[in-house]
Structure 1
Amino acid sequence: MRALLVVNPKATTTSARTRDVLTHALRSDLKLEVAHTQYRGHARDLARQAADDGAVDLVVALGGDGTVNEVVNGLLAHGPGERVPRLAVVPGGSTNVFARALGLPNHPVEATGVLLDALDQRRERPVGLGKAMTEGLPDRWFTFTAGLGFDAGVVGRVEEQRRAGRKSTHALYVGQALRHYVTEREHRRAGPVTLEIPGRAPTPGLVLTIVSNTSPWTFLGNRPVYPSPLASFDTDLDVFGITRMTAFGTARTVRQILRSHTPSKDDAQAAGPLGKHAISYHDVRHFTLVSQEPAPFQVDGDHLGDRSRVSFTGVRRALRVIV
């Protein structure tokens, strides 16, 4: 099988030696070309070129969720189709939500072993993805989450810290979330975002809106976080929102999203956090988030600036993934 390995040399949890070992292991089973990313968006460009050329059957992303997102957007630059190369992931970031949601080990060497076994056994699965659309800007595919409002503001703060030289850690995210909570006092009481779902009354005043394509939403170390426990690669999108973030209500929500949850076939509705100011929707194909003022926007943990209106759609069986 012809394959392209897209390597992020700045991946948080891999060393140059580890990457060399993984490359050698993959070359034992694949006709492998290796490309290292050199700038933001390079992984997308490499994957798009591979898809356009038709020269490879598989693109392997070695890096974190940002690298995976770029590769996915490159592969799907012209939309899903039978000629789109398959995707494989070797986790190398600090959190690796997409890889872990697929059931892959969080260690790159162990994940490479699983990948080689999957290739030998010809194991793959189709996964659904989300797509975010803003007028005048390119569409953006996402693998596990998007958000408009509070959570995206936290992501923006973390990226500022990383540009200043801070290492991406779970402690950094928690610290910046607490800082953002303190500084966003006005928006905690009355959010600017309205959720519009066709056939339903609009839900205004959202402080936080989390769009999930799978569950869990993220991890704190090895602890999964579940704002939308029923979200799945096999369904459309889930939405969780909060219309007011009081100290007591926020603490209760945090406790609820950190509790363990095992979805069952008998679940009739989203078993997300409950409360006076919480809203949850499961398996929604199309909806729009509209903000009264430009609000922070993120996809797969990548801050994309401020947006006033973003439409979302769930696309089932958008990509084939080696697992």
Structure 2
Amino acid sequence: MRALLVANPKATTTSARTRDVLIHALASDLKLEVVVTEFRGHARDAARRAADDGGIDLVVALGGDGTVNEVVNGLLHDGPAEGLPGIAVVPGGSTNVFARALGLPNDPVEATGALLDALRDGSERTIGLGLVSGTPGTEDEGVPSRWFTFCAGLGFDAGVVGRVEQQRVRGKRSTHALYVRQVMRQFAGERNRRHGTITLSEPGAESLTDLALAIVCNTSPWTFLGNRPVYASPRASFDTALDVLALGRLSPSAVAMSAAQLLMSSPERGPRGKHVASLHDLTDFTLHSQAPLPFQVDGDHLGLRTSATFRGVRRALRVIV
């Protein structure tokens, strides 16, 4: 089998020596080409070339969720199609939500062993993804479409992601403590905007208005705190369309209650209450804000948006697992 390994040298939990060991292990079973990324978008470009090549059977992403997202967008630059390379993931980031949602070990060496076993057994599955694009008739109409594997967000959570990225640019390591600090700072910055500006519109359904944040989930868990899974939308699945968790208020009491429920969430129960809306298996919907808000996809901050149109695409990507 001919394969391309796309490795992020800045991945948080892998060293150059570890990457060499993993490359050697994969090369023992695969006709392996290696691309070490050098700039933002490099993984996407490499995966796109692999999709257009016609001779690559598999693309392996070695890195965090950002690397995986770039590879997915490269493979699906023309949309899902028969004959595209499959994807495999060796987690190397700080959180690795997508890999862990697939049931892969979080340790890159163990995950490589699991990948080689899956290849020998011919084990794979085809999963659904989310696709977000600019909304026609708005100032975001021309924004390029973007695939996402596990989540997207408009509002508060995206603001936290943006703050974390700013800290990483300044040399801070991506740790769970860093995220917690930025959550607190983001909440302090929202002091004068407790009521929401977001509207969720779905064809054939009544719109939800005055939302303060909206988290779009393609799978569950939504994220991890260390080894602890957090379930924003427990029914979200790679086998359905998209789920949404929305909050109507960011008052101290509402945020404290929702945060406690997230920390105690489980596959059977997520956040609930008067100011919480949970929607399951949505195929097409739009989020629109009266004011520009932070926007993120798979943990990648994409700036400010006033609108975004979402589509849940079933059976979009072949994954070796």
TM-score band, normalised by shorter chain: over 0.9
1:158 maps to 164
CA distance in 2, matches of 1:293, 1:149: 10
CA distance in 1, matches of 2:265, 2:122: 32
2:138 maps to none
Query: Contact (CA 8 Å) 2:132, 2:145: kept in 1 or not?
Result: yes
CA distance in 2, matches of 1:186, 1:207: 12
> Quick check: 1:190 aligned with 2:195?
yes
Q: What secondary structure does 1:281 align onto?
A: strand
1:292-323 Cα deviation digits (max 9, x unpaired): 11111000000001111100000001000000
Counterparts in 2 of 1:19-98, with a 5 A limit? 19-98=19-98
1:176-233 Cα deviation digits (max 9, x unpaired): 010000111122x211111111112111111110000000000000111111001000
* % identity of equivalent residues: 68
The correspondence for 1:138, drawn from 137, 144, 147, is: 144
Q: What secondary structure does 2:165 align onto?
A: helix
The one-letter code matched in structure 2 to 1:175 is: R
Counterparts in 2 of 1:1-323, with a 5 A limit? 1-134=1-134, 135-187=141-193, 189-263=194-268, 271-323=269-321
Q: What secondary structure does 1:90 align onto?
A: strand
CA distance in 1, matches of 2:9, 2:60: 14
Q: What secondary structure does 2:126 align onto?
A: strand
Query: Contact (CA 8 Å) 2:105, 2:111: kept in 1 or not?
Result: yes
Query: Contact (CA 8 Å) 2:154, 2:213: kept in 1 or not?
Result: yes
Count residues in correspondence: 315
Q: What secondary structure does 1:185 align onto?
A: coil
Query: Contact (CA 8 Å) 2:265, 2:271: kept in 1 or not?
Result: no
> Shift of the alpha carbon at 1:260?
4.5
TM-score by length of 1: 0.96
Query: Contact (CA 8 Å) 2:149, 2:218: kept in 1 or not?
Result: yes
Q: What secondary structure does 2:50 align onto?
A: helix
Instruction: Report the aligned-residue RMSD.
Output: 0.9
2:137 maps to none
CA distance in 1, matches of 2:267, 2:170: 39
The one-letter code matched in structure 2 to 1:278 is: V
- Unaligned stretches of 5+ residues in structure 2: 135-140
Query: Contact (CA 8 Å) 2:88, 2:115: kept in 1 or not?
Result: yes
1:268 maps to none
> Shift of the alpha carbon at 1:250?
1.4
The list of structure 1 runs, each at least 4 consecutive aligned residues, that deviate by more than 3 angstroms after superposition, is none
- Unaligned stretches of 5+ residues in structure 1: 264-270
Query: Contact (CA 8 Å) 1:240, 1:272: kept in 2 or not?
Result: no
CA distance in 1, matches of 2:265, 2:306: 34
Query: Contact (CA 8 Å) 2:164, 2:179: kept in 1 or not?
Result: yes
CA distance in 1, matches of 2:314, 2:105: 24
CA distance in 2, matches of 1:119, 1:153: 39
The one-letter code matched in structure 2 to 1:291 is: S
CA distance in 2, matches of 1:29, 1:278: 49
CA distance in 1, matches of 2:236, 2:47: 27
1:266 maps to none
CA distance in 1, matches of 2:208, 2:130: 21
